[in-house]
Amino acid sequence: MFETLSDRLNQVFSSLRGRGRLSPADIDATCREIRIALLEADVALPVVREFMAKVRERAGGAEVSEALNPAQQVIKIVNEELVAILGGEARRLRFAKVPPTVIMLAGLQGSGKTTLAAKLALWLKSQHNTPLLVAADLQRPNAVQQLQVLGERAGVPVFTPFPGNGVGDPIQAANLGIAEAEHKLHNVVIIDTAGRLGIDEEMMRQAADIRDAVDPDEILFVVDAMMGQDAVQTAQAFLTGVGYDGVVLTKLDGDARGGAALSIAQLTGKPVMFASTGEKLADFDVFHPDRMASRILDLGDVLTLIEQAERTFDQEQAATMADKLASGEGFTLEDFVEQLAMVRKLGPIGNLLGMLPGAAQNREALSKIDDKDLDRAAAIVNSMTVEERRNPKIINGSRRARIARGSGVTVGEVNQLILRFLESQKMMRQMMGSMPGMPGMRRQSKSRGKAKKKGKGGGRPAGAGRASQQSAKEALEQLAGLGQEAGAGGGMARGGPLGAGADGASPAALPGLTSLPGLGGGKGAIQFPGSGGFSAQPSKLPAAFRGRPGKQDR
Amino acid sequence: MVHDIIIAAIVVVVAGGGAAGLVPYVRSRRRSLPPGGQAPAGGEGQPGRSGTQSGATATATLAPPEPGTVAPPDLTAPPDLTAPPEVPARVVEKPPPSAGRLTRLRGRLARSHSAIGSVLLNLISAGKLDEQAWEEIEDTLITADMGVGPARELVEELKTEVKVAGTTDPAAVRQMLRTDLIAMINPALDRTLHLARHGDRPSVVLVVGVNGTGKTTTCGKLGRLLVGDGKTVVLGAADTFRAAAADQLQTWGDRVGAKVVRSDREGADPASVAFEAVNVGIQQGVDSVIVDTAGRLHTKTGLMDELGKIKRVIEKHGSVDEVLLVLDATTGQNGLRQARVFAEVVDITGIILTKLDGTARGGIIIQVQRELGVPVKLVGLGEGSDDLAFFDPQVFIDAILGE
């Protein structure tokens, strides 16, 4: 929707800035907006009602006394509640004492069971298991072939006792699959079943029969993140029909806010265990409740952004870049193009910016940013000579005309780009200057080395998600720390020059980015309390929080 | 530290690069270019999927039957496009015609809607329409995925009408609710499929949508429906990404004796498969060509570009008559975003709402229809091969309210 929760809340509270405490009216106004936000995120109505009652109660209680602004405070409560429900009892897969461990997948048609089966198999395999995929979806035409192809891609054997397309008995297929696994010494069996509707009694009975026949250790309910209000009925129908121990959320790489996850978690108390976030078989990970909470509330998702960046960016490249930046003058148009390419790899720029907290306010402007603009900028720079790239000051009128011709733009656009570049170069220098120094950066790089070693020792696959999350948190910590220093130091806060720079660079579009350097405070702060990683430094962070919002309010 | 750099990089890129583009130059959105206006040549956005586009090594095992046929214009070496193996000597089914299908399937619709219908009727029949009752009516509409805005609007309108009429007679209120609901689905929209042959070439249907909504199944069913109405069809398996998608379509095609045009290797260029499908359609003189595409999330720019290319390449043969977006009835508010993006990229002309036989109500179509003006043309009401029917707002609403 055009209006996000952050937008709306900002509207509601624009008149209330500076007032530190929550009145019942504030709570009402905020709750109304949050209710709509939750409904628009496809959280089921009964769940919303229950949830809001709880939030209201907490917001009205004694906890309402700190100096966050009212909206922030209510959102903080909401966020914590969301994380509590979503993250309820995070747990790992239960493995059977006597192998094979049997995992059965169930869900509606088109929720992504077959693909997920292969992803899960690949994930298990990377943890030194020897999974076997069993094709028990004999309903949909060629589902068996699909699993075979996917299994081949994942390098996991697929057991197909029946050809499918309506031929064969899924219960027998499951049974044979387990016998096969015992025979060939596979320690995990993943059974892919046909998609079925919750109200289709015959099919539900069949699923229950498969369950009774193989007595699975885990039954995973596969849900599409785009699912709407019907999630309640479906989840309930599957719970009574087959029963399940965990939920897997698929298609999280879209822009659906995934309220279904909350509905199901709240309604059934079953944890969301995995999330599937892309079309490649490796796009599969354990579920992060804190991120999901922010996503449902549309608060931006810095952690995912950083993780994504980490995956894309070459560490050495980044280090070189850091040195260049540190030397100030060294940032040239060549580096600029390199950066463009790196950022481009991260995905559509609009999505990227959308993940930054505070960016939501400028959604309108952000939606105008087109990836083509980045490509065009790259084209302009690529039309320059090496000399021009290193020293843009030598670009005179005739050079400009040549560059414009070479890149198929107007001279005005070339001018704009050069101007912007010089501005951002200045900005960079300011930022680097005001950062409490490169020493800090060095220190950080040492600790990164350590983290790497730890990762290797502890078995990368198992800890991969957590490790990268850890380092992301480290980064955020550092940012928060910087925010604190800025707040304490007053005067030229780190956010100051950069914020001003960004503002100046594109008055129409990017004021939202002013909140970017302020990650340690402002809206960014709201999601940190829930992210869990910060409770370890209680002394450090609250100060950071209080530092920034206080400043804003004044 | 790395993250600082990353964020700094983004700031710089955005402040520098992004802003450069924000200068108010009129930017022609490439996507909205008139069809055929630009040759889809070298500069096409490469699809973001790995393993595709290795056309250079492919050699055509089956040359186009006529030497003069246009080759797919954008590829130097078209991938193998072999006709399917001979249809095995099995009995070709004769599916029933499309007429009256929705009436036959009404039972399924009612099943999926009974809960909402009875709740609404109970509220109205209670005879006391106070604030709380109105709120409950609104909430009930929201649980049908109608969205907060439209539900609120409908209730406001109904409230006014009730006040004006000065009646709380359940039958009258019910009639008003029915009228309002039907008005929201806008019965005036043209819901027919425009599939007449154009002189010497067939009409073309392009089926698009996100993953897992049931595109391939719908293509198969749509093919059956057309065959049932006495038309001849060719199916084009342009879903070259998902494993075994072409096989799935082949199974559907074989059942009704429709030819399926497919590539014999995975990851072929879907645009060229689609082009070839229309080619075969022209040669065989069929009435319609139905092109199945791979599911793609609307957020993946590369894949959406690929879809735009498929359409442009088909248009080398002439216009695409229907672009049908397949929406899953279980989809929530995200359906609107999907429809918006698809409409922008390929200019959808109709919606097929699938999986309506479950408990989901597919209320999202109300918002989609209103915002984009694109009508729901067909509904999928079950797993049976003939459970695809033309949509009729009145029958649909009556089924909801449980007449």
Contact A145 B23 (CB under 8 A): no
Q: How far is B218 from chain A (nearest CA, A)?
A: 12
Q: Cβ(B308)–Cβ(B346) under 8 Å? A: yes
From the CB of residue A28, how many other CB atoms can be counted at a distance below 10 Å? 12
| pLDDT exceeds cutoff 80 at B335 | yes
Residue B204 has φ and ψ, to the nearest 5°, of -125, 130
Which range, of A148-162, B108-122, B239-253, B384-398, averages the lowest pLDDT?
Answer: B108-122
Higher pLDDT, B170 or A436: B170
- Beta pairing, strands B81-82 & B259-263: antiparallel
Task: Collect all residues of chain A within an 8 Å Cβ-Cβ radius of residue B23.
Answer: 412-413, 416
As assigned by CATH, the class of the B101-185 domain is: mainly alpha
Task: Collect all residues of chain A within an 8 Å Cβ-Cβ radius of residue B3.
Answer: 306, 309-310, 472, 475-476, 478-479
Instruction: Using alpha carbons only, give the angle B50, B55, B57 rounded to the nearest 5 degrees.
Output: 115
> Could you identify the residue written with the tokens 């009212």?
A70
Helices (H), B229-363: 245-256, 270-284, 301-314, 334-346
pLDDT given at position A554: 31
Fold of A308-553: 434 Repressor (Amino-terminal Domain) (1.10.260)
B contact residues 235-264, partner A, Cβ 8 Å cutoff:
241-245, 247-248, 251-252
User: pLDDT tens track of chain A, all 554 residues?
Assistant: 334 555 666 666 565 554 556 677 777 777 887 888 888 888 888 889 888 888 888 877 655 555 556 666 777 788 788 888 887 656 788 888 888 899 999 999 888 899 999 999 999 999 899 999 999 988 888 888 889 999 999 999 999 888 877 778 889 999 999 999 999 999 999 999 999 888 888 889 999 999 999 899 999 999 998 898 888 888 989 999 999 988 999 988 877 888 888 888 888 888 888 888 888 888 888 888 877 777 777 665 555 666 666 666 666 667 776 676 666 556 778 877 877 777 776 666 666 666 665 555 555 666 666 677 778 888 888 888 888 888 888 888 899 999 999 988 888 888 888 888 888 777 777 766 655 444 334 333 333 333 333 333 333 333 333 334 444 444 444 433 333 333 333 333 333 333 333 333 333 333 333 333 333 333 333 333 333 333 333 333 333 333 333 333 33
d(CA A516, CA A431): 13
Contact B2 A435 (CB under 8 A): no
Spans of all domains in chain A: 5-86, 101-299, 308-553
pLDDT given at position B32: 38
Fold of A101-299: Rossmann fold (3.40.50)
Task: Collect all residues of chain A within an 8 Å Cβ-Cβ radius of residue B340.
Answer: none
Whether B335 contacts chain A with CB within 8 A: yes
d(CA B382, CA A202): 14
| pLDDT exceeds cutoff 70 at B39 | no
Contact A479 B4 (CB under 8 A): yes
Q: Cβ(A317)–Cβ(A486) under 8 Å? A: no
Q: How far is B362 from chain A (nearest CA, A)?
A: 9
Whether B214 contacts chain A with CB within 8 A: yes
Same fold, A101-299 and A308-553: no
Contact A142 B7 (CB under 8 A): no
pLDDT given at position A39: 87
Contact A108 B20 (CB under 8 A): no
pLDDT given at position A76: 75
pLDDT given at position A537: 32
What is the full DSSP assignment across A36-53?
HHHHHTT--HHHHHHHHH
Burial of A142 per CB tally in 10 Å (0-12, 13-18, 19+): buried
| pLDDT exceeds cutoff 80 at B204 | yes
- CATH 1.25.40.10 describes domain A5-86: no
Q: Cβ(A123)–Cβ(A284) under 8 Å? A: yes
Q: Which of A5, A109, A226 to mutate to test the interface with B (most CBs of B within 10 A)?
A: A226
pLDDT given at position A220: 93
Q: Which of B112, B214, B299 sits opposite A110 (nearest CB)?
A: B214
Greatest mean pLDDT range, A412-421, B83-92, B278-287: B278-287
Q: How far is A297 from chain B (nearest CA, A)?
A: 14
pLDDT given at position B346: 93
Spans of all domains in chain B: 81-86+192-393, 101-185
Task: Collect all residues of chain A within an 8 Å Cβ-Cβ radius of residue B25.
Answer: 410, 412-413
Q: How far is A77 from chain B (nearest CA, A)?
A: 23
To which CATH superfamily is domain B81-86+192-393 assigned?
P-loop containing nucleotide triphosphate hydrolases (3.40.50.300)
Helix (H) or strand (E) holding B351: strand B350-354
> Could you identify the residue written with the tokens 């070693």?
A453
Contact B212 A224 (CB under 8 A): yes
Whether B46 contacts chain A with CB within 8 A: no
From the CB of residue A420, how many other CB atoms can be counted at a distance below 10 Å? 24
Q: What's the pLDDT tens digit per position in B41-67? A: 333 334 444 433 333 333 333 333 343
| pLDDT exceeds cutoff 90 at B20 | no
| pLDDT exceeds cutoff 60 at B334 | yes
